[in-house]
Structure 1
Amino acid sequence: MTTTAAPLTIPFRFFDVHVVRTRRLGPSMVRVTFGGPDLGELTAGGRDQRFKLFLPQPHQDAPVLKDRGEGWYTTWRTQDPAERAVMRSYTVRAHRADPAELDVDFALHGAGPAATDTGGPAARWAARAEPGDRVTVLAPVAADNGGVDFRPPPGTDWILITGDETALPAVAGILEWLPPGTRAKVWIEVPHADDRQELPTLADADITWIVREEVPGDHRQPLLDAVRAAELPEGAPYAWIAGEAGTVKALRRHLVREREFERRAVKFTGYWRRGASEEDLIAELTAGTAPSDED
């Protein structure tokens, strides 16, 4: 999940946590459950609640954060990149108070136990995570916080949701949160058929899975193609689209220009960008050179 601009520390706080257990959800996803003495104080807002995850460098047994106050981000930027904690943004998949645990689902991007595997630092860490491994999170302590983006306005008649495997945890959280009977059209793109998951919801949700390994080679943007071909409900929509930045931008353009969605009714987030590492994205953000998502 792409690292974004630093959140305010309040209503967030730092928690030192450790791996309790891991569970493979499919070929491309692993769930890591974290525990910690203070996790009972974490208060997530549900839906697509994001938080900051700090991982140790490969030669460290715990992440190095020299400042945990309001100036943490400035201090983090000035630290030696080879020593400072690896920072990423992830979604709270589930949080329990008794016992105090936090579930986080990681898209593996091909990462596995071998040192030569693909995937970024977070995917490689998650693929090899073991009970007792230590990390730090900057997570909310108030349900109403800026880390929740899914906010349909009053008067919304139905919901449109799209995402790839990186957005699947957020999609699952949104579907769990939707009130009973909410009309929703959902498209989720995953690499393999076994990456499909049960997605509990009380909403009236029409969920379409798009499996990349089953898509003909001439469909380079299967998610966009599926939405373009769909018959959509009448009424005022609210769209939440996330995943690879290029696909997200194309979907937003289609909804606004061709489907005539109101711009403010489309929430869009690029979790990653094809051809760019997360370190590239961090460098762009800190330098102020990240490409605009606006048309």
Structure 2
Amino acid sequence: MTATAAPTSAPFRFFDVRVARTRRLGPSMVRITFTGERLAELASGGRDQRFKLFLPQPHQSAPVFEDTGDGWYATWRAQDPAERPVMRSYTIREQRPHLGEFDVDFALHGADDPASAAGGPASRWALAARPGDRLTVLAPAVADNGGVDFRPPPGTDWILLTGDETALPAIAGNLAWLSPGTVAKVWIEIGHEDDRRALPSFADVEVTWLVREHAGPGRGEPVLDALRAAGLPEGTPYAWIAGEAGTVKAVRRHLVRERGFDRRAVKFTGYWRRGATEEDLIAELTAAATAAAATGEE
């Protein structure tokens, strides 16, 4: 199977982009294609390549930065919240350097339901996006970069992937990257039957779709429940888990404690958390990093 070296530190650069076109993929997701003048310099590593996307405030036509140099983060944090760009993390679903384009799939989180207040700023923006709308992204300038987490080590016999619709673009990228003959078992939670999509891969892939609209009250945790009931292949596994943070932690705990996975072979990422915005999560991470620095525990 395919294996990669450990990630190297790599520069990420700011790119000004605009919407080229949009396409609804199903009830819960829309694909937006971005274009820009310098996108030939953007170097996606494929797989679950993440990057930072910056949205303008509602009264702005484009994101407004006071600094896009090495100190951008501290300056961004210090900006007036009513003026600073809204930052979100997303996956590059596909890049076409020869056309200066890349695609991003946005989960809508119910933002298209006029009867509810569901959906965050990015979901609402994506739902209303039109060609020409302007954004800024912070994306890699080299392919081997720290924004790629899916890195099965040498000696891996089979792959386990789980996630919800927010992880679907990354799962699709991971599967497309796998080599022929690789065994991959995949569990994906989606909101609606029509959210299913083809997941092309050269690997030997088995996908289990867990559809929330089919579940009744007290449905539990679909991914965790399905994993507990599943028979898994023999051999050395590598697991990649993403989606809602609480579910991700529970799945990791199950794999390590109940299934005997080596914790070093389980890559887990909370893409979102129930009841919390990304601003909340950023504030928590910043506070934790500050506390660690103050006590010398970095």
TM (norm. structure 1) is 0.93
| Residue in 2 that maps onto 1:249 | 249
2:73 counterpart SS class: helix
Q: Secondary structure at the match of 2:279?
A: helix
Q: Output one character per residue of 1:202-234: Cα deviation in whole Å (capped at 9) or x when no partner.
A: 110000100011123232101100011000000
Indicate conservation of the 8 Å contact 1:113/1:127, yes or no.
no
The answer to whether the 8 Å contact 1:113/1:128 transfers is no
Q: Residue 64 of structure 2 aligns to a residue in which SS?
A: coil
Contact 1:9-1:70 within 8 A present in 2 as well: no
**1:8-35, CA deviations, whole angstroms, 9 ceiling, x for partnerless residues?**
9942111000000000000100000000
Aligned to 2:119: 119
Q: Which runs of 5+ in 1 are unaligned?
A: 1-7, 291-295
Q: Are the equivalent residues in 1 in contact too, given 2:9–2:146 (CA < 8 A)?
A: no
Structure 2: distance between partners of 1:68 and 1:83: 15
Report the equivalent of 1:73. 73
RMSD across aligned positions (CA): 1.8
**2:81 pairs with 1:102:** no
Aligned residue for 2:28? Answer: 28
Q: After superposition, where does 1:115-194 map in structure 2 within 5 Å?
A: 117-194=117-194
> Any idea what SS the aligned residue of 2:150 has?
coil
Distance in 1 of aligned mates of 2:175 and 2:129: 28
| Secondary structure at 2:125 match in 1 | helix
The size of the alignment, in residue pairs, is 283
2:10, 2:144 within 8 Å by CA — same for their partners in 1?
Answer: no
Residues 9 and 145 in structure 2, CA contact (< 8 A), matched pair in contact too = no
Runs of 4+ in 1 over 4 A off after TM superposition: 113-117
Q: Secondary structure at the match of 1:98?
A: helix
- Pick which of 279-288 and 97-106 moved more: 279-288
- The alpha carbon displacement at 1:156 in A equals 0.1
Q: Residue 146 of structure 1 aligns to which amino acid in structure 2?
A: G
Structure 1, residues 92-118: CA drift from partner, whole Å, max 9, x if none?
000002211010000000113969742
SS at 1:288's partner residue? helix
Unmatched segments (≥5 aa) in structure 2 = 1-7, 291-298
Q: 1:150 to 1:10 in 2, by over 3 A?
A: closer
Amino acid at match of 2:179: P
On the 8 A contact 1:53/1:137 being kept in 2, the answer is: yes
**What letter corresponds to residue 153 of structure 2 in structure 1?**
P
CA distance in 2, matches of 1:53, 1:261: 34
Counterpart of 2:140, as a letter, is P
Equivalent position of 1:85 in the other structure: 85
The equivalent residue for 1:55 is 55
Contact 1:107–1:123 (CA<8 Å) still a contact in 2?
Answer: yes
Determine helix, strand or coil for the equivalent of 1:197: coil
- Please give the alpha-carbon distance, in whole angstroms, between the structure 1 residues aligned to 2:57 and 2:168: 27
Q: Letter of the aligned partner of 2:130 in structure 1?
A: E
